[in-house]
Amino acid sequence: MRVGVVGTGIMGAPMARNLLRAGHTVTVHNRSPARMAPLVEAGAIAATSPRDVAARADAVVTSVPDTPDVEAVVAGPNGILEAARPGLLVVDTSTIAPGAARALAERAAGLQVDFLDAPVSGGEQGAVNATLSIMVGGGRDAFDRAAPIFAAIGKTATYMGASGQGQMTKLVNQVVGAATLAAVAEGIQLGARAGLDPAALIDAIGGGAASSWMWTNLGPRMQRRDFAPGFMVKLQQKDLRLALAAAAEVGAPLPLTAVVQRLLAAVEARGDGALGTQAIVTAIEALARG
């Protein structure tokens, strides 16, 4: 396929590389042109705008930080829909408000463009290894047409129903992940204060019922004080705000999510919003110091 990628950051760049490896013709655009250079060297075509990407592609994958960014690259000036033509496929892998995804899908449908909300889970390493879990809302026919794209960038793609349901599924993922992350931080801090051997602790818990992706992947990074971002605190905070807003709409209480949001807010307040989410352990440590 001729595939465009708009947004070549932590997630978008490895997705573009995997699309190239799968044999697709890939056109890329990013607000910071320097981020496109390695992809162009790998065989991608540089575009001047999201509109230019869409004009050169059968399908466009977007990977940008927040709801306003998606709205801008899809429906704004020089956006993807300015190059709309019947059958164009837009696959948004960002995490945005479900209502915004539904509105964009409706606007695209008016131009005979298919819009899928297809947020991903797995972080930077999942994007690099093409093992992302993809949660998809939109038309079933569009989901089927996007299969070669999903196969190139992820391990699983699950059809969740109508537009917006992919985003709602991702918010469930973020709620579960955030609570698990906080529990891991508490366990790491408890183990450190009790003088437990760090490596042995990871192995012991990792072999039992309390094991999780967060424990085995982010627990050791907390121990090593490695806060390089696979997924930044400020982006997790954006997702939790979306989850809390969506929960209020449907009447679902999220008390644990609210606590995690406040812990991460303490990390942000120190100016550390660009650190990886494993930096939540510093907020737990600050509570221990009193």
Instruction: Assign residue 87 a region (left: φ > 0; alpha: ψ between -120 and 50; beta: otherwise).
Output: left
Contact call for residues 223 and 198 (beta carbons, < 8 A):
yes
Q: Which domains does the chain have, with CATH numbers?
A: 2-162 (3.40.50.720), 168-289 (1.10.1040.10)
Q: Which of 155, 170, 234, 238 is catalytic?
A: 170
pLDDT in tens, 86-140: 999 999 999 999 999 999 999 999 999 999 999 999 989 999 999 999 999 999 9
pLDDT at position 30 = 97
- Name residue, tokens 């709205």: 71
Burial 119-131 (b: 16+ CB within 10 A, else e): bbbbbbebbbebe
Is 170 a residue of the active site?
Answer: yes
Low-confidence residues of the chain: pLDDT under 50: none
Question: pTM of the prediction?
Answer: 0.93
